[in-house]
Amino acid sequence: MLTKLASRLEAVTALLGQVAAFAILALVLLVTTNVLLRYFFRTGSVWSQELEWHLMAPIALFAIPYTLMKGDAVRVDVLYERFSGRTRLLLDIFAGIVGMAVAFLLLKYSIPYVEKSWMNGEGSPDPGGLPARYLLKAILPIGFAALFCQQLAQVIANCARLSGAVYPADTDKSDP
């Protein structure tokens, strides 16, 4: 039952990873358009430049849990690879629990920040800027909740592996 929960959490993480990928594509297209407009037509807009950094929020906050899910997170592999499989699983479980604590604290402290922005109807202070900055800030707790959930999924999966159970992702042959 817990491994099914972990698989479902990872499915949400995969979806958020796709959102981040589309945000990267949108950012590349937007930056290219802004540069072309600025240098060839000597025009531009504040809202489109603000949108560039607005797109970075989902890229960073949704790609972090996705990267963690894919196992591409940074760690000291020189040491990690020397440990036994059991020790690696125990380290991964410990790191997951610490990661959950950090994600929980970030989630907890981001909510009042977003609520204040939402209540004030915060927008861009610049003329011609994007009007609903609170929507951008709302990505913070979503991203931290996604990070918490991905850490939880990894802790569950690693506990299952430690107990000798087969985790569904271990049987996936489509990923080399």
Q: What is the mean pLDDT of residues 25-32?
A: 96
Domain residues for the domain of 117 are: 2-166
- Structurally, how many domains does the chain consist of? 1
Q: Domain for residue 50, yes or no?
A: yes
Reported confidence tier of residue 19, pLDDT bands at 50, 70, 90: very high
Q: Domain for residue 172, yes or no?
A: no
Q: Domain for residue 175, yes or no?
A: no
Is the model's pLDDT at 132 over the cut of 70?
yes
What pLDDT is stored for residue 79 in this prediction? Answer: 80
- Cβ burial of 164 (10 Å; 0-12, 13-18, 19+) is exposed
User: Distances from the Cα of 132 to the Cαs of 24, 26, 76, 142, in angstroms?
Assistant: 21, 19, 41, 17
Q: Domain for residue 12, yes or no?
A: yes
Q: Which two tokens stand for residue 34?
A: 């802004």
Please give the model's pTM, rounded to 2 decimal places: 0.84
